[in-house]
Amino acid sequence: MAKMKVRYEGDIRTFAEHLLSGKTLITDGPPDNHGKGEAFSPTDLMCTSLACCQLSIMGIVAKREGIAIEGLWVDVEKIMQANPRRVAEIRIIYHSPEGLKITAKQKAMLENAAKTCPVGLSLSTDIKQHIEFDFQTI
């Protein structure tokens, strides 16, 4: 069980602490919603959490299968809907690091790992998850 503490700082800013590790982060509202945009917004964190979770689950599979995916990176884009204001779509594009060579079977395992991560499975099916993999196979 993970425990966190979150405090409202004012001006649409929060301060969060992960109690086990002591690590902290702040969030700001985006400029188009009364915030300063000086940090991740809560919805930015949600989209980023999806990518981080996918990479983590892919990392578990890669470690088990002996695939070196260090340096794998993603672009994350959040698409908001106006009424009601919510995340409508998350676009994630995976990019291979230089020299990554995987088989079609390994690519399929990594893609499946990404698409079955706990964050992705926890999000509403109303949120479109558009995921692309720019992997070269051997």
Provide the pLDDT for residue 65: 95
Position 137 scores a pLDDT of: 79
Same domain for 130 and 98, yes or no, is yes
User: What is the pLDDT, as a whole number, of residue 97?
Assistant: 87
Q: Is there a single domain that holds both residue 53 and residue 98? A: yes
Residue 107: its pLDDT value, please?
94
Name the domain count of the chain: 2
Residues 80 and 117 in one domain: yes
Q: What is the pLDDT of residue 95?
A: 94
- CATH number, domain of 74, equals 3.30.300.20
Q: Are 78 and 45 a contacting pair, CB within 8 Å? A: no
Tell me how crowded residue 26 is: count the other CB atoms within 10 A of its CB: 13
Phi then psi dihedrals of residue 28, to 5 deg: -130, 150
pLDDT at position 130 is 97
Tens digits of per-residue pLDDT, 36-76? 999 999 999 999 999 999 999 999 999 999 999 999 999 99
Which parts of the chain sit beneath pLDDT 70? none
Range of the domain at 17: 4-33
pTM: 0.92
